[in-house]
Structure 1
């Protein structure tokens, strides 16, 4: 097979790394890719949102399967374009991707189809939203409706803080049109966990569990980011809990999307809060999570390329999924200032030494190759991922590896996985 991967982050590097292990895959392209991905794939300079360019490239190269990493091209209809041109592609259609593209849509469909989630209200007018807040109790959650790169959710400890974030979203427009509407919802209490599943719209194969760490600072403090680290599996997800999530959340949302004339195929990502009343959905995403994907794929024993192809051509019922009996930890190395402003172009040292370590995978996220030197090129720079016989061993391996890496202003959380130990 010839595979095209769309994207340039740590998630796409992990996907390319795993697909490269398939005996069925002869060639991998990635658009636009990054220096890490270039070690296992041929990177092509086509932007993720250049759907016509990506389609024409796939036609010219006779690509057997395209795998979409980020959410933007999904919401722009890349899957529809490829399928209309009789090209196999893994991911949901434009209409189905709205499950991630609009928090209002996601919350509304969950309420309509009795999928457990937090109570909520939707507002288009800031004065009405502020008036509603006066009747609420803190803590409370404010969410921008549209895509905000994982940064559009605010857990507010006071109502004054909630009003400040409403002002930022709806008046200052820090997320642009994504802030045309907001969701105000109750703050759920418990432990967070991520469950991803592969589906072709008929069959659902859940992946192993993972725990993401969204907040920038240790102890889950500070503003949300795209994700500062993850571990897999989560000690909170027993076999019984996994079945409950599948029967009460994953299967119902796929059926609900079909009934809403938005048939769903691809990855369905459920971000969950394990409350005293059972698991409740915080959000749905329409693609692989980042950095959950890094933590998951190093533990996957099965052939990922075969799984994704089966999902894209509706033969997932014949597929099987196996995992290594291991634990994994992914720690994100970020640029100083992230998720705010940060510098680019800073040299990274220690990469070759870390790549030589056993049980370690270095996934590039925001890097660039400048005259043969790897430099920083984003907020989240690297995802250092380790496997071990248990979580404690994986943590030891990953932080030992990180000690050998450096770039000016490097920041990372030192508590990834601590909650499970």
Structure 2
């Protein structure tokens, strides 16, 4: 098979690493890719938002399958172009991807189909949004409607803080993505990420993980795209998973099909475990980042037949792979200044050494200079992933690997997996 993988981050590096292991793969092309993927396939310098050029590349290489990593490519209609050309695409159409690309659409969809989520309101005018705050109780959850690279969510402890966030968003902080804001009720509980593979009519649960959104230890600091993750996530008890599949996943896929937007690809349901059961925090129309990294390291067997079955619209004839009985953790190393103003260009040494069979470093935001040196080229730069028999061993291996990387220009959280570790040790 000839496969085109679209993307350049840690999620796509993990997908490329897993796809390249398949005996079905004859040729793997990655656009645009990053230095970590150089040995896994051919890199093509096409931006993920250049949908027409990506579709032309897929036709040129006679792709049997296109796997779309980032949400921005989906928003630009890459899947629509590929479907029109008869090329199987793992990823939803632009309309179906609105589950992620428009929070207003997503919340209204959940309301129509009685999918449990927080109460909400959608506002375009500053004075209306300010007035609406009197309906909600603190802390206030303020979200930009569109895509904002994981940064368009603020939890404001006071009404004045909420007003300030609304002013920033509607005032252009996130460009067109903030032209509307969604104000939500705050949900108390523990959050986790549940993933389902979808073929347009059916959904099969893949697995779960837990992300760490705050920039600093102790879940402090600004929201980010994700500073680390681990899988399995103890928050996903069998009872919670069953309820989430019955109340969230299956109604979502059925509802999208009924509304003429069949959903193909992976559905990411960010769920809050509340006293009333699972409630949707957000939907994503692609694998989470950095959750994808830990899922790919745990996944046993060949992923390509599953991706192809989703793209072709028939999951009934493919066997779901099993997960290895181990814990995998991912620690994100980010550039100083992330998430607001990450400093690019700092030299990274030691990231490409052999860390042994239990550790894998995925590149998330790197580039290679003409002299061959690796440098930071983004906010989240490296993903240090490690497996172990439990969370304690996986953490030990990940942080031991970080100590071997010489990068003064980076930082990372030191408490990834703390919830799971507390459960294992009984809080000791």
Q: Is TM > 0.5 for Structure 1 vs Structure 2?
A: yes
Query: What secondary structure sits across from 2:307 in the alignment?
Result: helix
Report the more deviating stretch, 377-386 or 56-65: 56-65
Structure 1 residue 143 displacement after superposition: 0.6
Q: Is the aligned partner of 1:66 residue 2:62?
A: no
Does 2:380 match 1:380?
A: yes
Secondary structure in structure 1 of the residue aligned to 2:35: coil
CA RMSD of aligned residues (A): 1.0
Distance in 1 (CA, whole Å) between partners of 2:100 and 2:191 is 18
Distance across 2 between alignment mates of 1:203 and 1:135: 38
Q: Where does structure 1 lack aligned partners over 5 or more consecutive residues?
A: none
Question: 1:63-120: CA deviations, max 9, x gaps?
Answer: 1111001111111111111111111111001110111111001001101111000011
* 1:162-173 map, 5 Å: 162-171=162-171, 173=172
Deviation at 1:238, TM superposition (A): 1.8
Separation in structure 2 between the aligned mates of residue 261 and residue 203 of structure 1, nearest angstrom: 15
Query: Alignment partner of 1:315: what SS?
Result: coil
Aligned residue for 1:10? 10
The equivalent of 2:236 in structure 1 is 237
* CA deviation map 1:350-385 (0-9, x unaligned): 1233x3323001100000011211111110000000
How far off its partner does 1:308 sit? 0.3
Q: In the alignment, which residue of structure 1 is the partner of 2:155?
A: 155
8 Å CA contact 1:2–1:65 kept in 2: the answer is yes
Shift of 1:408: 2.5
Secondary structure of the equivalent of 1:316?
Answer: coil
Could you tell me which residue of structure 1 aligns to residue 20 of structure 2?
A: 20
Q: Which residue of 2 aligns with 1:412?
A: 412
Please give the per-residue CA displacement for 1:173-196, whole angstroms capped at 9, x wherever unaligned.
110111111111111011010001
In the other structure, the counterpart of 2:290 is 291
What is aligned with 1:396?
396
Answer whether contact 1:302 1:320 (CA < 8 A) is retained.
no
What displacement does 1:136 show? 3.1
Q: In the TM superposition, what is the alpha-carbon distance from 1:51 to its structure 2 partner?
A: 1.5
Aligned to 2:424: none
Give the equivalent residue in structure 2 for 1:317. Answer: 316
Contact 1:231 1:295 in 2 (8 A): yes
How many Å separate the matches in 2 of 1:15 and 1:106? Answer: 26
Q: What are the Cα deviations for residues 381-407 of structure 1, in whole angstroms up to 9, with x where unaligned? A: 000000111111111110110111121
Paired position in structure 2 for 1:264: 263
* 1:276-318 alpha-carbon deviations (Å, 9 max, x no partner): 1111000000011100000111000031111100111122112
Q: Which runs of 4+ in 1 moved over 4 A?
A: none
- Cα distance in 1, alignment partners of residues 178 and 384 from structure 2: 33
Distance in 2 separating the partners of 1:241 and 1:37: 36
**Deviation larger for 359-368 or 403-412:** 403-412
Q: What corresponds to 1:38 in structure 2? A: 38
How much has 1:135 moved relative to structure 2? 4.0
The answer for the alignment partner of 1:83 in structure 2 is: 83
Structure 2 residue runs of 5 or longer lacking an equivalent are 422-428
Q: Which residue of 2 aligns with 1:203?
A: 202
Structure 2 Cα separation of the partners of residues 258 and 352 of structure 1: 44
2:56 corresponds to? 56
* 2:105 counterpart residue number: 105
- Separation in 2 of the partners of 1:302 and 1:314? 21
Name the counterpart of 2:128: 128
Are the aligned partners of 2:395 and 2:417 in contact in 1 as well (CA < 8 Å)?
yes
The question of whether the paired residues in 1 share the 8 Å contact of 2:355 and 2:401 is answered with: no
Aligned partners of 1:112, 1:88: CA distance in 2, in Å? 30
CA distance in 2, matches of 1:404, 1:223: 28
Residues 33, 44 of structure 2: 8 Å contact kept: yes
> Could you give the per-residue CA deviations for residues 192-237 of structure 1, whole angstroms, max 9, x where no partner exists?
1000111101221211110011111112111111110000010111
Q: What SS class does the counterpart of residue 410 from structure 2 fall into?
A: coil
Structure 2 counterpart SS, 1:39 = coil
TM-score using structure 1 length = 0.98
Distance 2:239 2:131 in 1: 42
Report the equivalent of 1:334.
334
Alignment correspondent of 2:355:
356
Partners of 2:312 and 2:154 lie apart in 1 by 39
> Whole-Å Cα distance in 2 between the matches of residues 214 and 264 of structure 1?
27
SS of the residue 1:3 aligns to: strand
Deviation per CA, 1:312-334, whole angstroms, max 9, x where unpaired?
Answer: 11221122221111110000000
Equivalent residue pairs, number: 419
**Distance in 1 separating the partners of 2:202 and 2:312:** 12
Match of 1:249 in 2: 248
Alignment partners' CA distance in 2, 1:105 and 1:221: 30
CA distance in 2, matches of 1:187, 1:302: 40
